[in-house]
Chains A and B, each alone.
Chain A
Amino acid sequence: MTSAILEERKDQIHRTGQGDIDIACNRESLAGAVSQRACVFCGSRVVLYPIADALHLVHGPIGCAVYTWDIRGSLSSGPELHRMSFSTDLQEVDVIFGGEKKLEAALDELIDRHSPKAAFVYSTCIVGIIGDDLEAVCRKMTEKKGIPVLPVMSEGFKGSKREGYLAACKAMFKLVGTEDVSDVSPISVNILGDFNLAGEIWIVREYFRRMGVEVVANITGDGRVKDVGRSHGAALNLVQCSGATLDLAKMIKEKYGKPFIRVSYLGIEDMAESLYQVADFFKDIDPNIVQRTQDLVKDELSKLMPEIARYRKDLEGKKVAMYVGGSFKAFSLLKAFRHLGMKVVMVGSQTGTKEDYAELAQIADPGTILVDDANPLELSAFIKEKDVDVFVGGVKERPIAFKMGVGFCDHNHERKEALEGFEGMLNFAREIHSSVMSPVWSFVPRRSNRISKIIKEAGNE
């Protein structure tokens, strides 16, 4: 068991109930540890990617652009420029003589071809090394093309995914404040940190519509450049996810004085709580909003709860492990699993902070394993030790669970099933149910060996 954990990683793992939590996190991944984490470029790319009417040009060799081509199920209600993969495809000669000319020519060509509302230019490892002046090229092209051309300083080696979020927010912040906001309602919000996977932002927007709240900008799911430009006009920023867009909310607060709150649309309590927080914020301007919100939640829950109860019957007592990108998601998931009668025994994240883990330790059951920046060997050891029934993670975690004969639920940005909102909770319950209850698990060695052992022992008695 311990052999799966390298000495240098031991302080990044904690078991609740065994002393004070002081988990090490936010450090560089260990060389040779096969971390599940990506890089700075990845962080920026996944945050900005869903802005659908912008050109997203990756300045670098081909891989960076290829591996992020249409990577998320981020839906758009209009333009779909975000679903294309653009790259300067740097070649050896560019590495030697510099890629600025090529970048300029690429922007020239692509902006003419696609008429985007803005262009994001992502820096990659190699650009940081050869020293192309991305900012200068972007300035020049902004002038020449008459649209904002924004550098995203996301050299992969400059830290972890988290630094990429900051780079993305810095790039977006240059757009904020560029549009007229005179017609924005005083009861208005921006949705930050939601990527409209499988149309989830549309579910949440519908709730706000029913509450009488105007949504100014989706940042970034189903996002538009113009909306980001007028996002400073919204009265309140709602930040979801573990800080992917938190920096943007902070920048808006500092410059435009607009407050933000952290929300989550996953699970029953967190969804309802988020709506109530918004209602509470606007209740002085619109006293009826509280009642409307209560009615909405009541209406949704009366539809949802009987269905959840049906699934719960089967799922009661089953064990769950999860490994997610941002730890904020883990809070919501942990509560959501409790509604299904399931027990969370391991929680891990790629980018959690000390505060996140401390809060997780508070709400988790005793004996729960908390882990920062894990890898396949650790994850598989924990799955085995805790004998879990279902594992929640992303594409890289899926085969780890499946290979050991454990159910899996994709709760990462590649999922194509809407899991947010009250509708999403039902989808989530359905997916967990169909994962855990499938008859296939009785055939995998993990279970079938155990079953045959039990039968054998029973026969001997």
Chain B
Amino acid sequence: MSKVKNKVEKANFVSTTNACKLCTPLGASLAFRGVEGAIPFQHGSQGCSTYMRRYIISHFREPVDIASSALGEKNAIYGGGPNLKKGILNVMKKYDPLLIGIATTCLTETIGDDVPRILFEFRQEFGDLKLPELVSVSSPSYNGTHMDGWHGAVCSLVEQLCTEQAEKDDSVNILPNMISCEDIRELRDICERFEVEATILPDISETLDAPALEDYVKIPTGGTPIKSIKKMSGASATIEFGRCLADKTGGVALEKKFGVKNHRIGIPMGLRETDALFDTLEEVTGTPTPRRYELERGRLIDAYVDGHKYVFGKRAIVYGEEDLVTGLCSFLSEIGVEVVLAGTGARGKGLEKAIADATEGVARKMPIVREGVDFHDIADEAEELKADLMIGHSKGYKYAKAWNIPLIRVGFPIHDRFGGQRILHIGYRGALSLFDKIVNAVLEKKQSDSNIGYGYL
């Protein structure tokens, strides 16, 4: 592998054009949505929750009820505490939730609302009512991206719910990072076949991809049971996905406080990162990998072989959340696709090292790695890179179209295609499905660029 390129800091970074990241409370709200009986609640002005709801709905095509403290001008001046309390009471009346997940916004962080204190007061004032669990996370949007909101919410859930040592059992905690509903279903299947009881936190597989129903369900069924979260301190191990995580995460908190061993692995994308998941599962459960997955693994390698010529040496631009980008780089390095640029809107999460580690021994060359970039920056560099493929969420479409190269849509958000919540990224099957997509995109491009339009490719 060639030497890791030094990151070039932009001399005069002042504005963002077509951002490649989302704001912190959005990630927090998504994570809260993956808890059973939970309602996400944003402490801020009404617009925040409405905009984020719209944005999330466009991807999942599911009802996404996010409450707001709907602060007005007076509240912004005198503090949002009264509105937060009133809002919680109204949500209790209408939704009867088991948990309210409160995320702060830039507004309430800046006016200095002390949410834990307000919640303490609330519990004192309304202690005679049957109160839901109230979990809060500090998520100012001028500090980090939606991934910080997501991981922050997960960490808050663990820290604020899992306060006592539960009885030790053989269960496993999985903190899966921000992956799709289909990914979570795959993960659950895997755990079932390993015959291990797993607490997957959060679990958006049903809450953000529910069946058609006769009635409007106030809070969709599914999600990680609160009881299970409280029992995470008694699990035999935690597996958390992500090579670009903060020092403090849910997994780390459980290890520190309750001694639950934390296994940090990458998002299981591609062959080797999925192998790491199965190795870890074998280690923590003592159960060998079921034959089904050996067959899946074999099929994946078979497909890699069948399709290698079509993709080898193709140049790809990859962008999005740090850990998704790392997973994609790992997978692409396995199939001989050269990632020429890996970009993320986030900063300071060690993306470059994560990619170097995940592609170690397989990638022929390190990509240019850029943190804190927007699509304008990506395009600026990409013009010269002569990429054949773009891989990331749907916001890159404008650029892929301009360069006349295929965009392989993965991750979140997918706003211009159907079924974003059902894209499978993880496991051997996820890798296979991504591989099929990429090979076919290359073939389709070749076919459409050809005057003849070959019937055999």
Q: Which A residues are closer than 8 A to B by beta carbons?
A: 3-4, 6, 8, 28-42, 57, 60-69, 83-92, 94-95, 102, 105-106, 108-110, 125-126, 128-130, 156-160, 375-377, 380-381, 383-384, 394-396, 398-400, 402-405, 443-446, 449
Q: How far is the CB of B417 from chain A (nearest CB, A)?
A: 14
- Chain B residues in 8 Å Cβ range of A37: 46, 50
Q: For the complex, is B18 an interface residue (Cβ under 8 Å from A)?
A: yes
Q: Give Cα A62–Cα B87 distance, bound, in whole angstroms.
A: 25
Map CB proximity to A onto B101-136 as digits: 1 under 8 Å, 0 otherwise: 000011100110000000000000000000000000
- Given A38-B46, A126-B110, A129-B111, A63 and B52 contact (CB-CB distance below 8 Å): yes
B58, B61, B62, B216 interface centre (most CB from chain A within 10 Å): B216
Residues of A contacting B145 in the complex (Cβ-Cβ under 8 angstroms): 62
Can you report 24 A-B residue pairs in the complex whose CB atoms are below 8 A from each other?
A6-B94, A29-B68, A32-B41, A33-B67, A33-B94, A34-B91, A35-B46, A38-B47, A39-B47, A63-B48, A64-B47, A83-B398, A84-B17, A85-B18, A88-B16, A125-B105, A126-B106, A129-B107, A375-B65, A400-B63, A403-B62, A403-B213, A404-B216, A444-B214
B151 at the interface (CB under 8 A from A): no
Q: Which residues of B contact A4 (CB under 8 A)?
A: 94
CA distance A461 to B102 in the complex (A): 55
Residue contact A102 to B50, C-beta cutoff 8 Å: no
**Contacting A395 at CB < 8 Å: which of B54, B67, B76?**
B54
> When the two chains form the complex, which single residue of A38, A67, A87 contacts B15, counting CB atoms closer than 8 Å?
A87
Q: Which of B61, B66, B110, B213 contacts A34 (CB 8 A)?
A: B66
B45 surroundings in chain A (CB, below 8 A): 39, 125, 156-157
CA distance in complex: A202, B398 (Å) = 24
Among B75, B93, B141, B395, point to the contact of A63 (Cβ < 8 A). B141
- When C-beta atoms are compared, the residue in chain B nearest to A35 turns out to be B46
Contact status A396-B23, CB under 8 Å? no
Q: A85 and B17 in contact (CB under 8 A), knowing A30-B90, A157-B72, A445-B213? A: yes
Residues A34 and B23 in contact in the complex (CB < 8 Å), given A63-B51, A403-B210: no
- Report the count of interface residues on B (CB-CB < 8 A): 74
Query: Is B285 an interface position by the 8 A CB rule?
Result: no
CA distance A416 to B242 in the complex (A): 38
Cα of A3 to Cα of B70 in the assembled complex, Å: 22
- The reply to whether B216 and A129 contact each other, CB–CB distance below 8 Å, is no
Contact A38 B51 (CB under 8 A): yes
- Name the residue on B nearest A445 (C-beta): B214
**B215: Cβ under 8 A from any A Cβ:** yes
Q: Name the A residues within 8 Å of B143 (CB-CB).
A: 91-92
Is there a chain A Cβ closer than 8 Å to B403's Cβ?
A: no
In addition to A30-B90, A110-B17, 17 A-B residue pairs with Cβ atoms within 8 Å of each other are A31-B87, A32-B70, A34-B94, A37-B50, A39-B46, A42-B51, A67-B51, A69-B395, A91-B142, A95-B106, A105-B15, A126-B110, A129-B111, A377-B218, A396-B50, A400-B216, A404-B213
Docked complex Cα distance between A380 and B72 (Å)? 27
Which residue of B46, B70, B395 has the most chain A CB atoms within 10 A of its CB atom?
A: B46
In the complex, chain A residues whose CB is within 8 Å of the CB of B214: 404-405, 444-446, 449
Q: List chain A residues, Cβ under 8 A from B87.
A: 31-32
Whether A384 touches B215, Cβ cut-off 8 Å, given contacts A61-B106, A125-B107, A403-B210, is: yes
Residues of A within 8 A of B47 (CB): 38-42, 64, 125, 156
- Kindly list chain B residues whose C-beta atoms are within 8 Å of the C-beta of A158: 72-73
Q: Which 9 A-B pairs have the closest CB atoms?
A: A39-B47, A63-B23, A380-B216, A32-B90, A32-B87, A31-B87, A106-B15, A105-B14, A67-B51
Please give, as numbers and ranges, the residues of chain B lying within 8 Å of A65 by CB-CB distance: 16, 19
Assess A34 versus B67: contact at CB under 8 Å? Given A106-B14, A445-B212: yes
In Å, the complex CA distance between A88 and B141 comes to: 13
Name B66-97 residues within 8 Å CB distance of A.
66-73, 75-76, 83-84, 86-91, 93-95
Residues of B within 8 A of A33 (CB): 67, 70, 90, 94
A394 to B76, CA, bound (A): 29
Residue of B with least CB distance to A444: B212
**Chain B neighbourhood of A38, CB < 8 A:** 46-47, 50-51
Taking the complex as formed, is B258 at the interface, i.e. its CB lies under 8 A from any CB of chain A? no
Chain A residue at minimum C-beta to C-beta distance from B23: A63
Judge if B429 is at the interface, Cβ distance under 8 Å: no
Centre residue among A39, A92, A376 by max chain B CB count within 10 A: A39
A84 to chain B, nearest CB (A): 6
- Write the chain B residue with the least CB distance to A5: B94
Instruction: Give, as a whole number of angstroms, the nearest-CB distance from A316 to chain B.
Output: 26
With a cutoff of 8 Å between Cβ atoms, the chain A residues found around residue B12 in the complex are: 105, 109
B69 and A125 contacting across the interface, CB-CB below 8 Å: no
B243 on interface, CB distance cutoff 8 Å: no
Residues of chain A within 8 A of B52, CB atoms compared: 63, 67
B44 on interface, CB distance cutoff 8 Å: yes
Q: Contact between A85 and B50 (Cβ–Cβ < 8 Å)? A: no
Shortest Cβ distance from A347 into chain B, in angstroms? 19
Complex: chain A residue closest to B374, CB-CB: A89
CB within 8 A of A396: which of B53, B71, B83?
A: B53
Q: How far is the CA of A35 from the CA of B68 in the complex (A)?
A: 8
Nearest-CB distance from B334 to chain A (Å)?
Answer: 32
Given contacts A31-B70, A395-B54, A404-B216, contact A85 B19 (CB under 8 A): yes
Q: A32-B86, A92-B143 are in contact. Are A128 and B76 (CB under 8 A)?
A: yes
Contact of A157 with B75 at beta-carbon distance under 8 Å, contacts A37-B46, A65-B16, A109-B14 already known: yes
Question: Could you say which residues of chain B place their CB within 8 Å of the CB of A443?
Answer: 212
Q: Which residues of B contact A66 (CB under 8 A)?
A: 19, 21-23, 55
Residues A35 and B70 in contact, CB atoms below 8 Å apart: yes
Of A31, A83, A108, A383, which is in contact with the most chain B CB atoms at under 10 Å from its CB? Answer: A31
Chain A residues whose CB sits within 8 angstroms of the CB of B73 once the complex forms: 157-159
Indicate the member of B106, B107, B143 with the most A CB atoms within 10 Å: B106
